[in-house]
Structure 1
Amino acid sequence: MNKTIEEIFNGIKHNEGRLPKEELEELIRREDETRIFLIDYMEDFKKDYKVALEDMSYFGHIYATYLLAQFKEKKFYDIYLDILELPDNEAMALYDDGIKEHGGKIIASVYNGDDTRLIEIIQSDNVSKEIKYAVKNAFEIIQRDNPRYIDNIFDEIVNWECFKGEEEREEKAELEKAEEASLNNLIASELKKGLNDFIMKNSVEIGRNDSCSCGSGKKYKKCCGK
């Protein structure tokens, strides 16, 4: 028996370190049912969003936001703006970098034609500069001849660090460590070469068996004289 939309969604609303591609694809395939469920879900979430602030693995509101943006669901417009105007800049805590990166595209994707609230947000003293920037970006997107909306949730979130497994994160860390070591060796080599050139130009001639002037304690022939 097929799972209900609620069952599918409840199964992915906590991040387990993987992108739930099959589940999201099923929600997209059943778009009409998903729309209705997610609008109700986000209405409830708006009233009880503290759950996501207390549990960093909570991702339900994030999946819902990007799916409704992909669906171009205009009923979500006011709900999303209500969340952006939450007190104490809590919207930034709920979406983290998602507002800075995609907030404007999300607003533009669900835009219902009413500019009033966008203008109010820009003029407000109670929202952060990041949210004002997202609203400004939304205006710019809406006014373009060929606006770029949220058309595919996977295009927006597939490369997020939180969806990479532990093994992949460790491989990335090792690669970054190796690259840093290589860069450090290159810098050290260039510094040594520069020091050697300086010594050769500014000191008396050094015999191959003399102590190296760099202070290493080695003979010149086994140090900078190599």
Structure 2
Amino acid sequence: MLLEEILSQLETYNGTFPRLALESAIEQKTEITPKLLEILEECKNNLEDLLEDSTYFLHLYALYLLAQFREEAAYPLILDFFSIPGDITLDVTGDLVTDDLNRIIASVFDGNLQPLKQLIENQQANEYVRSAALKSLVTLVAEEIIPREQLIQYFAELFSREPETQPDFIKTKLVINSCKLGAVELKPQIDEAFELNLIDDLFIDQESVDDTFQKGTEAALIKLRQNRQFTLITDIITEMKSWACFRNDKLKQNNSVFSSPSGFTNSFKPGKAEANKKKKIQKESRRKNRNKKK
């Protein structure tokens, strides 16, 4: 398949999974990579247009293909793309941010942690993007790309920053990811965060933290490395073929797959854990909206 034909078939959603085009893209990795990088740059500069065209899918395929290719040149582009304030990057990528952005970032990581840390600490960036960036660091540890000790030190620095005065989403995620690492070294800082009421127990409570740490660091790391959510992208076909928009005929027939960003990814997979996660995010969003109105 010619390069132009591959890009043409991947550009627009038509209800059918483009397996052949993706397989051809993988076969022509060298030729298509520069095009995929250009696409990400163009999309970043035309987000409003991208938002209006809900059938445009090429940027999504580009993110996963570049991740599978371990294309380090995509690393700064992806961080730059998702650093844009507000919700617009979530609106044009659906559930990718909460489902796989951490894995995509880890897959294209070029060895420089500084820009990733800048995104995590950027209070103007979307908090779910910042959370995914934080999670990508844990993914790098799970994949033994960076040492656990290095991340523990950075987490300690984040805990030591000027404390907030109310429950904080990112600090809550910091506690959750510390548990994934079995970071018993950080228990004093975590205990203090709970005492100061900085952790939203909708997501994690003190008892859960204590239970995790009692099991020990090694048990936590074994569990972490068995968790698909903390792995690199290795097979775009497997990753995307089960997306709701490619397998839910009812949604495709009434064209409602684009009425919600969740149509982009695999969030319609049944499962209590995933359903609970969505409920928690929705409740958290409502709480924040209420606080803004006060």
Sequence identity percentage = 28
The aligned residue for residue 41 of structure 2 is 43
The aligned residue for residue 181 of structure 1 is none
Which of these residues, 166, 188, 195, is aligned with residue 249 of structure 2? Answer: 166
Give yes or no for the alignment of 1:83 onto 2:71. Answer: no
Matched ranges for 1:180-191 at <5 A: none
Give distance in 1, aligned partners of 2:232 and 2:61: 16
Which of these residues, 133, 136, 158, is aligned with residue 134 of structure 2? Answer: 136
Give yes or no for the alignment of 1:156 onto 2:246. Answer: no
Q: TM-score w.r.t. structure 2 length?
A: 0.54
The aligned residue for residue 64 of structure 1 is 62
Q: Work out the number of aligned pairs and report it.
A: 168
Provide the secondary structure at the position in 2 that maps to 1:42: helix
Give distance in 2, aligned partners of 1:169 and 1:76: 32
Instruction: Give the superposition deviation at 1:53.
Output: 0.3
Contact 2:245 2:251 in 1 (8 A): no
Q: TM-score w.r.t. structure 1 length?
A: 0.69
Instruction: Give the superposition deviation at 1:168.
Output: 8.7
Instruction: Give the superposition deviation at 1:128.
Output: 2.1
What amino acid sits opposite 2:121 in the alignment? Q
Structure of larger gyration radius: 1
Deviates more, 1:72-81 or 1:144-153: 144-153
Instruction: Give the superposition deviation at 1:35.
Output: 1.0
The aligned residue for residue 163 of structure 2 is none
| Unpaired runs of at least 5, structure 1 | 171-226
Contact 1:6 1:37 in 2 (8 A): no
Provide the secondary structure at the position in 1 that maps to 2:92: helix
Deviates more, 1:57-66 or 1:147-156: 147-156
What amino acid sits opposite 1:52 in the alignment? L
Give distance in 1, aligned partners of 2:98 and 2:76: 19
Instruction: Give the superposition deviation at 1:133.
Output: 1.4
The aligned residue for residue 165 of structure 2 is none
Which of these residues, 95, 98, 105, is aligned with residue 96 of structure 2? Answer: 98
Once the two structures are superposed, residues 141-165 of structure 1 have per-residue CA deviations (whole angstroms, 9 ceiling, x without a partner) of 1122367210011222111111126
Distance 1:166 1:77, change over 3 A: same
Matched ranges for 1:118-129 at <5 A: 118-129=116-127
What amino acid sits opposite 1:155 in the alignment? T
| Unpaired runs of at least 5, structure 2 | 145-224, 254-294
The aligned residue for residue 50 of structure 2 is 52
Runs of 4+ in 1 over 4 A off after TM superposition: 167-170
Distance 1:6 1:46, change over 3 A: farther
Contact 2:68 2:233 in 1 (8 A): yes
